[in-house]
Amino acid sequence: MPRPRLPRPLLSAALIASLLLTPLSAKPELERLEPAHWWAGMQQSELQLLLYGENLHDCTVSLTDYPGVHIDRVERVANPRYLFVYLQIAPEAAPGSLELHLTAPDVTYSVFSYELKPRVPGSADREGFNASDVIYLITPDRFANGDPSNDEIADLREGLNRAEAYGRHGGDLAGITQHLDYLADLGVTQLWLNPVRENDMPRWSYHGYAMTDFYRIDPRYGNHDDYLHLVAAARERGLGVIMDMVPNHCGLQHWFVQDPPDAEWINFAGRFEPTNHARTTNQDPHAAQIDRQRFNDGWFVADMPDLNQRHPLMADYLIQNAIWWIEEAGLSGVRVDTYPYPDKHFMARWASAILTEYPQLNLVGEEWTLSPALVAYWQRGKVNADAYTSPMPSMMDFPLNDALRLALTAPEETWNAGFIRLYEAVAHDFLYPAPQDLVIFPDNHDMDRFYTQVGEDLALFKLGLVFNLTMRGIPQLYYGTEILMHNRDHPGDHGVIRTDFPGGWAGDPVNAFTGDGLTTDQRDAQAFTRRLLHWRRTATAIHDGALRHFVPDDGTYCYFRYTDESTVMVVLNKRPEPAVLPTARFAEILPPGSHGTDVLTGTTQDLSESVVVPARSAVVLEIH
């Protein structure tokens, strides 16, 4: 197998300088060292160093005396180009530079330094995203092109092709950074970016989910410093950044797939065998073992090799990589792609290791199923029949997402159609240990745009938006939802679902950042979204409040969010005429003689007898 082409940068200047002084005969050629550095004062005392290059297999590794640090063991694998060196780092070890030696009998071939950095004060105590936040999901290639100079990178396989729906369009980190003020003004508080690490695949690389280097930012998005700058600039504006991580698979062109440590590094010994997508095998007491294995070990597609998380060296590598990015970039959370597909016992270990380092961080997993029982299986605190214990704080609420679509688009309200579907989806919260920690959303990068789902009906769009921003859970919006982006002519087409945000490219005839060229409906939707989001920032009843809902009645659905200090009443009305609801029905939660001020219009209603909701609209009433 040919040696893989290795992207830049590979080694520190100090390491390169040390290798230049090495004798020429049979010298080790250290081409990669991962992770590039670590930190003193981490909870995890064991650190795996992956060394990759030539003439490494027969080397011994030693460490110049460094208080609190010693080499625990060196793991050798079938491929002589790898060494895995495990250090033990005591809590009292100080930041500084370690000096490691690669040695053959009686000859020191290489000396290199390895830095233990000081941690940022308070790093371990950082708070993750929660129900007070609103997450804004961005596909970076399609948001804004802030630096055209990185549109074409000579040593990467795919170049710019904005005319192709599945091609690279040139969006980048600089584009996002330049429009942080727009996002802050819109009212969102967290940014979830589809993967930004290198995806050097020959086609369809824009989505990022077939990574070819877990430690390198894709140069078409910018460089490592650009990513750190984005996170820091976002933090200055009160915005957190959530990284999209994929422990299940990588891209076929990943350097350690092209030249793996051994035959067990990739599932099915590196041979394509498709997954059966039978996610129920994780819970099914009757499932055949071969079906479980095919689900967990099978590949998504031939271009995405499935990583073997049961390989102890791979497991350590993936856990360290996640922790490294959180510490390095100052992340506020992690979104985990295809959460049920990897080995579930590894995923419990992966999440536990992260939360040991950052007890208040949040992690959200993707389990795309319409069964709340399957989603609940993975959430922290769930008592499962098979005794499996998951440490995941949050999961994506796909069952609620589907129920919202069905509720809004049902042609009529019946005992089992319309708002009752939404009510019953919420009623299944008894299955979840912490339903308030689920991430709820009208759409995302893998499904039709929400405006398309509701038939481009602005009234239904607004009803759905109100629901998502007032219901229990952590709301997530997809970029462009606020301006009614759609895929009406291309249902299910991911390239079009992830179309370019207008105004992100020079010469765009419409600029949604400034409002120039937007239609009346788009301006209305953008202003409506902004108004809701700004109110929500301080709406503690929505952040922390309990939920009480009432069985839908003839096209209306009423629920309350409340704490001891505040109460919010929400009524959704699908009727083609105004709804007048007697408030006596809500007496258990609505005090006598109440008034409510609508956060959407600023008008106040006397709720002594009834609440009035305009046709095909919602009221969000702060009760006083």
Return mean pLDDT, the chain: 95
Residue 73 pLDDT greater than 60, yes or no: yes
pLDDT of residue 475: 98
Question: In terms of pTM, does the model score above 0.85?
Answer: yes
C-alpha to C-alpha distance for 343 and 421, rounded to whole angstroms: 33
Give every CB contact of residue 412 below 8 A, 6+ residues apart in sequence.
418
pLDDT band at 239 (very low <50, low <70, confident <90, very high): very high
CA distances from 257 to 7, 35, 293, 342, 447 (A): 14, 18, 21, 17, 30
- Thinking of the domain 132-245+441-537, which architecture would CATH place it in? Alpha-Beta Barrel (3.20)
Give the count of beta carbons closer than 10 Å to the beta carbon of residue 207: 20
Instruction: Select from 598, 618, 617 the least CA-distant residue to 607.
Output: 598
The two beta strands, 96-104 and 604-606, are unpaired
CATH superfamily of 546-623: Golgi alpha-mannosidase II (2.60.40.1180)
pLDDT band at 14 (very low <50, low <70, confident <90, very high): very low
Which residue, chain included where needed, has tokens 């003839």?
Answer: 554
Does the annotation mark 133 as catalytic? Answer: no
Does the annotation mark 412 as catalytic? Answer: no
Residue 15 pLDDT greater than 50, yes or no: no
Residue 473 pLDDT greater than 90, yes or no: yes
- Thinking of the domain 13-119, which architecture would CATH place it in? Sandwich (2.60)
- Please tell me the least confidently modeled range out of 14-28, 120-134, 141-155: 14-28
Check 366, 437, 448, 500 and give the catalytic one. 366
CA distances from 384 to 379, 381, 572 (A): 10, 9, 35
C-alpha to C-alpha distance for 572 and 48, rounded to whole angstroms: 54
pLDDT of residue 26: 66
Give every CB contact of residue 129 below 8 A, 6+ residues apart in sequence.
135, 189, 190, 240, 242, 332, 333, 362, 474
Check 147, 244, 337, 448 and give the catalytic one. 337
pLDDT of residue 2: 39
Q: Provide the residue type at 602 as one letter.
A: G
C-alpha to C-alpha distance for 371 and 410, rounded to whole angstroms: 20
Q: Are the folds of 13-119 and 132-245+441-537 the same?
A: no
**Domain boundaries along the sequence of the chain:** 13-119, 132-245+441-537, 546-623
Q: What percent of the chain has pLDDT over 70?
A: 96
